[in-house]
Amino acid sequence: MHLVALSGSLRAASTNTALVRAILGLLPTTDRGTLYDGLDDLPHFSPERDGDEPPTAVLRLRQLLATADSVLICTPEYAYGMPGSLKNALDWLVGSGELVGKPVAALSAGPGEDGGERAGASLVLTLTALSAQVVEAASFSVPFVRSKLGPAGTLTDLETEQRLRLAALRQAVAR
């Protein structure tokens, strides 16, 4: 399985990005994982900019996702929703369709007790609009995320680690 993973945070010390890195580190050697790092390079979406020659950063995102068997997105919550930069990336995929029918794990992580679940819900809503196959059993919120990461951003919580092994996502790809 080739898993393409996106963090919805632009912060250098992001807890969401730390989680995504941990997930990639937990993949079995038979899987391949790629961390998409171009969120901050994408121009603001407008249908007029999506003509015959889409921006290079957009092509890069689309080409990477086209090679994915599955996708994982982990989002922080800002003002009760996913960050605009992540929504913007997803808007660029509406017309091109790289996520149509593709198994996607939609995660959120936050410092509070709900783990940014409203952002997770907004992510699921948008993925549904894109006709992605949101894998429910692989989609969840990680509450109190700061207490589950060590100083170097490594995962220290065994229960979370088990859930991040993404067995349900792998099963969805195999089906």
Residue nearest to ligand FMN (CB): 76
Shortest separation between residue 59's beta carbon and ligand FMN, angstroms: 26
Shortest separation between residue 109's beta carbon and ligand FMN, angstroms: 7
Shortest separation between residue 126's beta carbon and ligand FMN, angstroms: 17
CB nearer to ligand FMN: give 20 or 173: 20
Distance CA 58, CA 23 (A): 25
CB nearer to ligand FMN: give 139 or 141: 141
Token pair belonging to 121: 């819900």
CB nearer to ligand FMN: give 14 or 70: 14
Token pair belonging to 133: 């196959």
Residue found by looking up tokens 């936050």 in the block: 110
Token pair belonging to 163: 């859930």
Detail the DSSP E strand segments found in 21-159. Answer: 32-36, 70-75, 103-109, 133-134, 141-142
Residues in contact with ligand FMN by CB under 6 A are 9, 11, 14-16, 76-80, 110-112, 116
